């Protein structure tokens, strides 16, 4: 009898374990099922094309011809190609102007919108965010008209202000990048919102304590606001760096509607032209990987440097 009870007990335990495992397995299965659309999409539309482009970067693949293995020839050409150097120069020159603007302007706007003295915050928030949701192409066309050197509204205003010979924004090698920065300012709404959210998450006691200690608005901003929202700044910085390496739509539309211009030949546009206009698919694949490596290195530098300037109130 005792033996029977023991056997029944063991049997029940085994059944429980089996049921538990089955439940785990079922949960795991459903987990994979729910993940599968993303996973399949990632494999088919990201990982496989990446692997294929890595292979193609070692071939002379062009449209309508089977790829032939050429070893490192595309990578050698990449370092010999003056257009690649020029497009890197153009990209970095623009990045040097755009990067501070893309961080400081939304930071400034977020600070303004976070001010307790500002009336109509919701209206301003909507106004600053609204351009972000306007389709890029339409926005660029509007900017083209606004920035036209002869009849654009901006230069008309500058002439009224006494500047007799204002810049020809879109056709000048000197002014095209500042013009693109102006166009880029239209899209700062998203960064502004994330920074504003970060600012609104800073506990008010910190400001109260600092005020009691005699800290003015600038000191409070520098020693409380900035450190507390530094993770949000880091997030925007990383996105901006990656975005600058992938900068495409604005120069593409401008160069299609205002003729090709070497000063708008960003590295991503150079890649596109090599692949889809000149049909040097193998070379374009090498360029794509080169761009990926540059973007990765820059991102790692930013992340490494963040140890020195990003403060996580939760410890990390």
Partner 1 sequence: MSRKLSLILTLGVVAAMLLGALPGAAQERVKITWFVGLGTGTNEQQIEVQNRIVEEFNASQDKIELVINIAASNQTAPDILSTLIASGDAPDIVGPVGFSGSNAFAGQWLDLAPLIEATGYDLGQFPENLVESYRSLDGEQLLGLPFAVFPGVLYYNVGLFDEAGLNYPPTEAGVPYVMPDGTEVPWDYNTVVEIGKILTVDSNGYDATMPEFDPTKTIQFGFIHQWDTLRSDFHTFGANYVVDAEGKVHIWDNWREEARWLWDAVWVHHIHPSDSWISSDLLLGNAFNSGNVAMARSMLWYTCCLSDAPAWDLAVQPAYNGTIYAPIDMDTFRIHKDTKHPEEAFTVLTYLLGDAALELLTVYGGYPARPELQDAAIQAKAEAYPSVQNWDVVARSIEYAPVPHHEEWYPNFNKGQTRFQDFLTLLRSDGGGEIDLEAELDRLEADLQAIVDEVQ
> Do 124 and 111 touch, CB atoms closer than 8 A?
no
- Counting contacts by CB under 8 A, is residue 57 touching partner 1? no
- Binding mask 224-263 toward partner 1 (x if CB under 8 A, else -) reads --------------------------------xxxxxxx-
The nearer residue to partner 1, 46 or 257, going by C-beta atoms, is: 257
Q: Rule CB under 8 A: choose which of 55, 88, 97, 149 binds partner 1.
A: 149
Q: Is the Cβ–Cβ distance between 84 and 91 less than 8 Å?
A: no
Q: Which residue stretch of 41-49, 61-69, 206-214, 231-239 sits at the interface with partner 1 (rule: CB under 8 A)? A: 61-69
* 179 CB-near residues (< 8 Å, 6+ apart): 143, 147, 169, 170
Q: Which of 4, 120, 135, 165 binds partner 1 (CB under 8 A)?
A: 165
Closer to partner 1 by Cβ: residue 20 or 260:
260
Establish if 157 lies at the interface with partner 1 (CB under 8 A).
Answer: no
Residue whose entry in the numeric block shows the structure tokens 């006494």 = 162
**Is residue 84 a contact residue for partner 1 (CB under 8 A)?**
no
Q: What is the C-alpha separation between 90 and 270, in angstroms, rounded? A: 11
CB of 148 vs partner 1, minimal distance in Å: 5
**What is the smallest separation between the CB atom of 81 and partner 1, expressed in angstroms?**
8
What 8-state DSSP symbol labels residue 224?
I
**Cβ neighbours of residue 133 closer than 8 Å, sequence gap 6 or more:** 189
Site for partner 1 in 263-282 (CB under 8 A): 273-274, 276-281
Can you read off the two tokens belonging to residue 267? 């590295």
Q: How far apart are CA 111 and CA 16, in angstroms?
A: 58
Three-class DSSP category at 119? coil
In whole angstroms, what separates CA 285 from the centre of its chain?
21
CB of 58 to partner 1, least distance (A): 17
Read off φ and ψ for residue 280, nearest 5 degrees.
-90, 75
- Region from 34-42, 150-158, 181-189, 226-234 binding partner 1, contact rule CB under 8 A: 150-158
Residues that bind partner 1 (CB under 8 A): 63-65, 77, 82, 144-145, 148-152, 165, 167-168, 170-175, 256-262, 273-274, 276-281
């Amino acid at each position: 009898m005792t033996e029977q009870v023991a056997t029944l007990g063991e049997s029940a335990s085994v059944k429980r374990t089996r049921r538990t495992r089955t439940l785990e397995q079922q949960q795991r299965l459903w987990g994979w099922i729910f993940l599968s659309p993303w996973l399949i999409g990632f494999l088919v539309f990201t990982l496989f094309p990446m692997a294929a482009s890595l292979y193609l970067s070692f071939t002379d693949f062009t449209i309508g011809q089977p790829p032939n293995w050429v070893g490192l020839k595309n990578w050698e050409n990449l370092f010999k190609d003056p257009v690649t150097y020029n497009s890197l120069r153009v990209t970095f020159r623009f990045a040097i102007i755009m990067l501070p603007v893309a961080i400081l302007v939304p930071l400034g706007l977020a600070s303004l919108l976070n001010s307790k003295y500002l009336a109509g915050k919701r209206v301003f928030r909507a106004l600053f965010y609204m351009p972000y949701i306007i389709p890029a192409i339409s926005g660029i066309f509007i900017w083209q008209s606004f920035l036209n050197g002869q009849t654009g509204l901006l230069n008309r205003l500058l002439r009224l202000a006494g500047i007799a010979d204002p810049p020809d924004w879109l056709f000048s090698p000197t002014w095209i990048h500042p013009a693109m920065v102006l166009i880029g300012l239209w899209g700062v709404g998203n960064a502004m919102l994330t920074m504003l959210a970060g600012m609104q998450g800073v506990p008010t006691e910190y400001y109260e304590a600092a005020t009691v200690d005699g800290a003015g608005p600038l000191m409070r901003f520098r020693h409380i606001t900035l450190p507390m929202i530094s993770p949000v700044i880091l997030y925007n910085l990383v996105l901006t760096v990656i975005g600058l390496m992938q900068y495409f739509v604005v120069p593409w539309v401008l160069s299609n509607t205002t003729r090709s211009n070497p000063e708008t030949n960003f590295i991503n546009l150079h890649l596109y032209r090599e692949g889809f206009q000149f049909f040097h698919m193998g070379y374009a694949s090498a360029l794509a990987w080169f761009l990926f490596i540059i973007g990765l290195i820059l991102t790692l530098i930013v992340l490494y440097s963040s140890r020195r300037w990003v403060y996580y109130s939760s410890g990390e």
